[in-house]
Structure 1
Amino acid sequence: MDKTMPLESSRTVGHAKLSFMKRVIRDFALNKYLYIMMIPVLVYYAVFHYVPMYGAVIAFKEYTPMKGILGSDWVGFQHFIDFFGSHYFWRILRNTVIISVYSLLFEFPAPIILAVMINEVRHQVFKRTVQTITYMPYFVSLVVICGMVTDFTNSKGVINSLLTFWGYDGNPMLQKPELFRAIYILSEIWQKIGWESIIYIAALMGIDQEQYEAARMDGASRWKQIMHITLPGIMPTIMIMFILRMGNMLNVGFEKIILLYTPVTYETADVISSFVYRKGLLEFGWSYSAAVGLFNSVINLILLISANYISRKVNESSLW
C-alpha cells in the first residue's frame, strides 16, 4: 500500500497537468480572437514597462551615455544616501504626501458622489447633459487645461476677479505657495470627476432594482436607500479603486505640476516626480534621478500591498 501511494500521487499530478493543458487549449480554440486582441496589450507592457526595468540598475551606477549602462562605474547606494541627506528630501516628500492625501480626501470621493447623484436623477435628458458636461474637461489637452487655470487665476482672471469682492488682494494666485495645492486639487477634480465616475455608474447599474422596490415598500427614504443599498452595492468597486489609488499614492502627475509651478512655489509645489524630471532631464543627473524614482516606486509597491492586505481582511475585496 505504501509503495503504490507515490505512484498514484504522481499519476494524479500528471493527470492534473494534462487536464489543465487541455482546458487551456480548448479555451484558446473557443476564444482565439480575444487572445489575438490581447497580444498588442502584452507587447505594450513588455516593451514599455518590463524591458525598461533593466535600466533601473543605473540608480546604483554613475551612468554616462558614453560608457553605457554596463560600462558605467558602480557606486552602490551612494545616490540614495545623497538624496536622503539632501535638503530637498523632506521638502519633496512632504509636498508629495500632502498633495496625495488631499487628493485621496477630496478627489477620490468626488466621482463616487457624482455617480450616486446622477443615479438618483430620473430626468434622462438632464442626466445625459450633466454627464456630457462633466466628461468634457477630461478630453481637453492638459496644456490647455493648465493654460485655462493660469488665465482664471491671474490678476485679471475670472476667479481672481470674483474673489476680490470677498477681500482678496488680486495678485496672481499661482504665485502664492499657500494656494498652489488647493488650485491643483480643485483643477484635478474639475478635469477628472466625470470620467472617473463612469466606472461607478456602471457598478450602480449592476445593483438589483428589486432591493430598491422592497426598501420603498418598507417606507425607506431615498437617503436610507443610498446608505443601505447603493453604497454597499458599489463598495467592492470602491475598494478596488482605492487599492489602485494607494498603489499610485506618491505618483503625483508631474505634467500638471511642471506646467503650473514656478521657482516661487517650489516650497509647496515641488514633488518627487517633478524633482526627478528636473534632475534627470534638465540637469542630466540620470543616476541620481533614477535612484529617486526607484525609491518612489518601492514606497508605492509597499502601499499597494498594504492596502490590498487590509482590504482583504476588512471586507474581502482585493486585487489578489
Structure 2
Amino acid sequence: MTPSGERVYRPPAAISVHQILSGLRRGGSDPCFRTTPGGPVRRATRTPDGPALLLVTSRPSAGEVEATAWGPGADWVLDGLPLLLGDHDEPAAFKPRPEHPRLVEAWRAHRGYRIPRTRAVFEALAPAVLEQRVTGQEAWRAWRVLVTRYGEPAPGPEGDGMFVPPDPAGWRQIPSWVWLKAGVDEARRRALLSAARVAGRLEQTVGLPHDEAERRLRSLPGIGVWTAAEVRQRAHGDPDAFSWADFHVSRNVSWALSGQVLDDAGCAELIECYRGQRYRVQKLLELGGNMRPRRAPRMTLPTHLPR
C-alpha cells in the first residue's frame, strides 16, 4: 500500500525517539505499539479523521526524524509529529539540584528525552482506566484482549498484526460478559464507559491550562488524581503531571532523592522544589532505573473472574 503521507522533522536539539515514545506503550505485547532496538517505532492510533499507522525512524547522523503514515488519519498524525516528539517541551527550564545525585545522573544520561503530546485524550484515558487498582500485567492483558477483539487492523503494510483502538462508540458496544472475561471489574468498566459518552468534550481539553485540564478530567466519575495524571502526561504533555496515588512512584522517587521510602505526602514535600517539572523528575528517574529495593514476595495474581 502506498503511504498516505511522509514527513521529515528536524528537532532543534538531539532527541531520543525511543525514550520519548516509550511511555505510550502499554506492556510488551501492546497491539498498538511496536518497536525494535535501533529500529523504527510503529504506533497505531485513532485520529479525528480516522485510523492511522505512524512509522517513526530516527536519523541522528542527519539530525532529523523521518515519519511515514498510512490511513485516513495520516495527515493528522504527521502534522502532530513535532508535538508527539516534544517540540512544545522546554527541558531547559529544568535544573536538578546537586543534593540529588541520582537525578543529576539521570538528567545527564537522558538529555534527549522530551515529554510527548499525543493530543488524543480519550485514547490515553481508556488504558489508564484499565490500569486502576490492578497490576500492570492484569491491565495490559485486558487492553490487549479488548483492543484486538473490538479495534480494527492498523492500515498499511507496516501494521501487520497491529490494531487501532476502538473509538468511543466501539468501547460502549462491548458486551458486559466480555469485560468480565478480560478481567475488568464493574467500577473500571463504568468509568471507561462514562468517559466514552463525553469523549468529544475530553478532546477539547488539549491546549487548556494544565490545571483546568486536570479539573475537567477529574470531574468525570471514576477519574481521580492518578488517572488524570496518566492522561496529562501523554495527551497534554504536562511536565508537572506527577503520578500521585500510585503504589510505587512516590516510594521510588523519594528513595532515589533521599534514600528514604516515603508516602505521597512525604514525597510531595521532597519534590516541591521541582514544582512545574515534577513529572519530568519522575520520568528521568524511571529512565535511569532508580527503583527502591523490594524484598517482599511478588503478589499472586488472581485466577478468578471479578464478581
Using the size of structure 1 for normalisation, the TM-score is: 0.23
Q: With CA pairs under 8 Å and 6+ residues apart, which has the higher RCO, 1 or 2?
A: 1
Using the size of structure 2 for normalisation, the TM-score is: 0.24
Whichever of the two has the greater Rg, that structure is 1
